[in-house]
Amino acid sequence: MATDFTLGFLLALFCALFWAALDISRKKLGREMTATGAVAGLMLLHILFLNPLLITGSVVDGDGAVYDTLLVGYPELEWLYFAPTSLSIVLNLAANLLFLRAVQISPLSLTTPYLAFTPVFTAISALIVLGQIPTTAGWVGIVIVCLGAFFMNPGDEDDGILAPLKALWTERGSFYMLIVALLWSITPVLDKQASEMTSPMWHTMFLAGSVGLAFLVYRRIHDSSFRPLVEEFKAIPLWLILGGLFAVGAMVLQLTSYEFIDVAYVETVKRAVGVTAAIAAGYFFFGERDIRRRLLGALVMSVGVGLILMAG
């Protein structure tokens, strides 16, 4: 019989695969759409995809793991729910915009690796807010994952051992992505609190829908019309729909996994798998080369994930 940790790890693993697929979609969208248009489209699709499930859950009685996850219906909201949720919305607005800007101006394999710093930031946030304390093996695994990502960007060899750090200033997309990592290290802690007050399904829709509506309003004010945004949606509809599906699956799986294992562990698995997938995607789909060092970094990160499993 599977333990809570095993179930949580499997959820985190599938969550990571969905996030990796979403990264590829966002890179593709970033080539054809503005950053604000892509974020608005991806986030608003959450409402279209999740609302029918919530409606079904509200009118149908059921029991079991599938029902408890997918068909929980609309929750009774309390004012306390909006405190962490509002802050998460603001942070996600900034993070999503910076993410898409980063992959627009820099290679996918030189930007997403810096998201692997998220677990350390998250572990500190979870320790302070939730009181979740990783084991010694867990801390070592988290740090190893971050080190593996850090040395993926070689920078200028003349800069020596600090070349990857200095590369943050020369590769602006990498610098933007490090800021994203910091922002996204805080949101999981907030989202865990919010989803426990409601459900992973509801919070995913409310959070993403709010971010999408914010960008929709911004574009309406900026363009004085919805027409330019609609034209962007029409430019690459299949990738937009796929990206929306990947985003929904990733977020629901992520929030559900928080019920079984620590937030920091989920973020570590998510980033390690995501970085490796980003390197492969950059090579096979976007023609990015010189990835030998990055693959070595991914191998180091896999050792860190192994220690996370031992910590469980």
Domain residues for the domain of 249 are 4-59+85-311
pLDDT tens for 162-176 read: 666 666 677 788 888
Give dist(CA 243, CA 231) in Å, integer: 17
- Identify which has the larger pLDDT, 83 or 127: 83
Alpha helices in the chain (DSSP H): 4-32, 35-59, 65-70, 82-105, 108-111, 118-129, 136-150, 163-170, 172-197, 200-223, 227-235, 237-257, 263-284, 292-311
Q: What is the torsional sign of CA 95, 100, 106, 109?
A: positive
Model confidence at 305, in pLDDT bands (50, 70, 90)?
low
What's the pTM value of the predicted model, to 2 decimals? 0.75
Ranked by mean pLDDT, the top range of 167-176, 239-248, 257-266 is 239-248
Candidate from 3-7, 234-238, 301-305 with smallest mean pLDDT: 301-305
136 in Cβ contact with 121 (< 8 Å): no
pLDDT tens for 8-47 read: 888 888 998 898 888 888 878 878 888 889 889 999 999 9
Q: Which percentage of the chain shows pLDDT scores above 90?
A: 21
Q: How confident is the model over 203-210, as a mean pLDDT?
A: 92
Count up the domains in the chain and report the number: 1
DSSP 3-state of 108:
helix
Candidate from 45-59, 157-171, 193-207 with smallest mean pLDDT: 157-171
With respect to residue 146, please indicate whether it lies within any of the assigned structural domains: yes
- Identify which has the larger pLDDT, 178 or 219: 219
Model confidence at 236, in pLDDT bands (50, 70, 90)?
confident
What pLDDT is stored for residue 241 in this prediction?
93
Q: How confident is the model over 217-224, as a mean pLDDT?
A: 92
Token pair in block for residue 14? 């599938």
Q: How confident is the model over 243-247, as a mean pLDDT?
A: 92
With respect to residue 74, please indicate whether it lies within any of the assigned structural domains: no
With respect to residue 71, please indicate whether it lies within any of the assigned structural domains: no
With respect to residue 50, please indicate whether it lies within any of the assigned structural domains: yes
Q: How confident is the model over 98-116, as a mean pLDDT?
A: 76
- Identify which has the larger pLDDT, 160 or 137: 137
Model confidence at 105, in pLDDT bands (50, 70, 90)?
confident
What pLDDT is stored for residue 188 in this prediction?
84
245 pLDDT above the threshold of 80: yes
Query: How many CA atoms lie less than 13 Å away from 90 in the CB half-sphere?
Result: 6
With respect to residue 284, please indicate whether it lies within any of the assigned structural domains: yes
Token pair in block for residue 176? 């933007």
- Identify which has the larger pLDDT, 222 or 281: 222
With respect to residue 29, please indicate whether it lies within any of the assigned structural domains: yes
Model confidence at 310, in pLDDT bands (50, 70, 90)?
low
With respect to residue 223, please indicate whether it lies within any of the assigned structural domains: yes
Token pair in block for residue 212? 């999408």
What pLDDT is stored for residue 1 in this prediction?
45
- Identify which has the larger pLDDT, 144 or 167: 144
Q: How confident is the model over 204-224, as a mean pLDDT?
A: 92
Q: Which percentage of the chain shows pLDDT scores above 70?
A: 80
With respect to residue 80, please indicate whether it lies within any of the assigned structural domains: no
At which residue do the structure tokens 């690459």 appear? 236
